[in-house]
Amino acid sequence: DVATPIAIDGYLYILGFGGNTWCLDIRSGEVKWEFRLPGTNGMFYSSPTLAGDKLYMISENGVFFVCGVSPEGIEILNQTNIDDHFVATPVLLNKRIYLRGEKGLYCIGKGL
């Protein structure tokens, strides 16, 4: 029931159940930053997905975030609400984002 952390370039990105996110230095264990995702009112069961410097996360009640991340900080680039229940991890493929909810499969991308 715990979202899988992401380890890359010596840093660990963690998404907690309640929407808290952290970046830790893997070698020292130092917390580089901590941030609470706003307006979720739900738990995060799906694991975050990282592509480049973008972190994709969706709460069980359909609050979907695209954030820019680095060891220096996190910035919300987009926050969208989808009327569904989500526990599956976002999948990125061919410049599309796929989200599997209880009611349907959603595809997000330009030029659909």
pLDDT at residue 100, rounded to an integer: 97
pLDDT at residue 41, rounded to an integer: 76
pLDDT at residue 40, rounded to an integer: 77
Tokens describing residue 79: 């926050």
> What are the 10-residue block averages of pLDDT along the chain, 112 residues in total?
90 94 97 93 91 96 96 97 95 95 94 63
Global pTM? Answer: 0.92
